[in-house]
Amino acid sequence: MLPLAGVTVVSVEQAIAAPFATRQLADLGARVIKVERPQVGDFAREYDTTVKGLSSHFVWTNRSKESIELDLKAEEGKQILMDLLAKADVFVQNLAPGAVERLGFGPGELRKRFPQLIVCGISGYGTDGPYRDKKAYDLLIQCESGVVSLTGTEENPSKVGISIADIAAGMYAYSGILAALIQREKTGQGTVLEVSMLEAMGEWMGYPLYYTYYGGEEPKRTGSRHATIYPYGPFPAKDGKTVFFGIQNEREWMRFCEVLLEQPSLAFDPRFNLNHKRVRHLKQLEKIINQKLQTLTADEIEARLDIAKIANARMNTMQEFAEHPQLKARNRWREVQTEVGPIRALLPPITMEGFEPVMAPVPRVGEHNQSILSEIGRDKNVVGNGK
């Protein structure tokens, strides 16, 4: 049996954070009803047209859902949403600050009407405080949380190349909802939970926060190197290729000196025999390492690192990752249906004995209008005018 079979989620969602959270609930067997604006739908449908004319963001975060169009500014649309929530287990929303309350679906009101309902709101900054009403997008949260200050080179701060603030918030909403479902099994009562993108990123920024607060110094931007561990990052080989590797402890450092550098005594050099010393004398150690690596090809370096049991990798392009032999060997690819035909999709990363995640189609806007409305005794499609 699918873990969330029998659980119904109604989501007034857009963009990435909430759709990513609810798609993962759908992966585990929950029924997810996605409420969309009439005619235009979730604006993430229009982010790009690269997947056979569909948006790459949208197909990633919206498979296995049912789509219904509702004009939530119209009384009939609001009543239909209330009818759906009366039969739902979970309500998720990530509308603009204050919007859900103005529509009459604030968490206090919903909990009075539906004591069994789990209500989850995702926002940029939370439901109170001076930033409550401030709009938030992924880049802006990366800036406010300090991510951009740590990412990139010394000269050029950069955002992370994927929407990590949205993803982090979606992950905490997902895990919070799972915890709330377990709690409801014990108490019979729903609950209200909220996740802010800023606070989600705050959790992910734990190491640099502690490092700065107690060390008195901000971690430096070091590109693809590590700010506080060395050697850790990219190193050039004789053949012009780059190998990435990292030393995590003193046992690995000793093996690195012995097997790759062929200088076992270097491990005991007082300049380098502890990580913080290696960081302090980085330029001297870097010269020694590069002198050796310039005598070896990338394949030879990787072979020695494997013998020494030191983690290493090549920098793949996205196309190379899509063809990664490990994903192929583990049979991680599936086909998902869309309105324009099948597309490839990776299985979710959690593999659980006894079931395979749901990989059902990505819906068209309003594809399930009639079937959902008929369940609540309505025989016409109420979509409004999309304004």
Q: Is residue 52 a contact partner of residue 340, using CB atoms and an 8 Å limit?
A: yes
What is the DSSP code (8-state) at residue 254?
H
d(CA 379, CA 365): 19
Cβ atoms within 10 Å, residue 23: 25
Confidence of residue 364 (pLDDT cuts 50, 70, 90): very high
d(CA 143, CA 365): 33
- Mean of all residue pLDDT scores within the chain: 94
361 and 277 fall within a common domain: no
Domain count, the chain: 2
Run of H or E residues at 8 = strand 8-12
Q: Is residue 36 a contact partner of residue 23, using CB atoms and an 8 Å limit?
A: no
189 and 134 fall within a common domain: yes
Confidence of residue 386 (pLDDT cuts 50, 70, 90): very low
- The pTM assigned to this predicted structure is 0.89
Q: What is the pLDDT of residues 295-311, one digit of tens each?
A: 999 999 999 999 999 99
SS3 string, 56-85, reads HHHHHHCCCEEEEECCCCCHHHHHHHHHHH
Residue where a domain stops, chosen among 269, 287, 313: 313
Q: For position 31, what pLDDT does the model report?
A: 98
The pLDDT of 25-39, averaged and rounded, is 97
Q: Is 174 exposed, middle or buried (0-12, 13-18, 19+ CB in 10 A)?
A: buried
Is residue 176 scored above 60 in pLDDT?
yes
Is residue 381 scored above 80 in pLDDT?
no
269 in any annotated domain: yes
85 and 152 fall within a common domain: yes
Q: For position 378, what pLDDT does the model report?
A: 82
Q: What is the pLDDT of residues 49-94, one digit of tens each?
A: 999 999 999 999 999 999 999 999 999 999 999 999 999 999 999 9
Q: For position 37, what pLDDT does the model report?
A: 96
Is residue 387 scored above 50 in pLDDT?
no
φ, ψ (nearest 5 deg) of residue 64: 65, 20
Q: Which two tokens stand for residue 71?
A: 């004009």
Q: How far is CA 271 from CA 235, 255, 278, 284, in A?
A: 21, 17, 7, 9
272 and 133 fall within a common domain: no
Which among 182, 63, 197, 86 has a CA at the least distance from the CA of 136?
Answer: 197
Q: For position 222, what pLDDT does the model report?
A: 85
Q: For position 223, what pLDDT does the model report?
A: 86
Residue where a domain stops, chosen among 313, 346, 361: 313
Which among 188, 182, 180 has a CA at the least distance from the CA of 118?
Answer: 180
CATH of residue 290: 3.30.1540.10
Furthest C-alpha separation in the chain: 82
Please give the single-letter amino acid code of residue 342.
Answer: P
Q: For position 84, what pLDDT does the model report?
A: 97
Q: Pairing mode, if any, of strands 312-313 and 242-246?
A: antiparallel
Which residue range forms the structural domain that includes residue 110?
A: 8-204+326-375
Is residue 263 scored above 70 in pLDDT?
yes
320 in any annotated domain: no
d(CA 50, CA 34): 23
Q: What's the gap between Cα 166 and its chain centre?
A: 6
Q: Is 128 exposed, middle or buried (0-12, 13-18, 19+ CB in 10 A)?
A: exposed
73 and 166 fall within a common domain: yes
Q: What's the gap between Cα 318 and its chain centre?
A: 17
d(CA 198, CA 273): 39
176 in any annotated domain: yes
Q: For position 383, what pLDDT does the model report?
A: 54
Q: Is residue 13 a contact partner of residue 19, using CB atoms and an 8 Å limit?
A: yes
174 and 45 fall within a common domain: yes
pLDDT above 90 as % of the chain: 91
Q: For position 225, what pLDDT does the model report?
A: 86
Q: Is residue 350 a contact partner of residue 42, using CB atoms and an 8 Å limit?
A: no
CATH of residue 14: 3.40.50.10540
282 and 335 fall within a common domain: no
The percent of the chain in helix, strand and coil, each rounded to the nearest 5, is 40, 15, 45
Q: Is the peptide bond preceding residue 107 cis, with omega within 30 degrees of 0?
A: no
343 and 309 fall within a common domain: no
Which among 52, 122, 68, 137 has a CA at the least distance from the CA of 91?
Answer: 122
164 and 56 fall within a common domain: yes
Q: What is the pLDDT of residues 116-135, one digit of tens each?
A: 999 999 999 999 999 999 98
Instruction: Give the length of the chain.
Output: 387
Q: Which two tokens stand for residue 172?
A: 């905490």
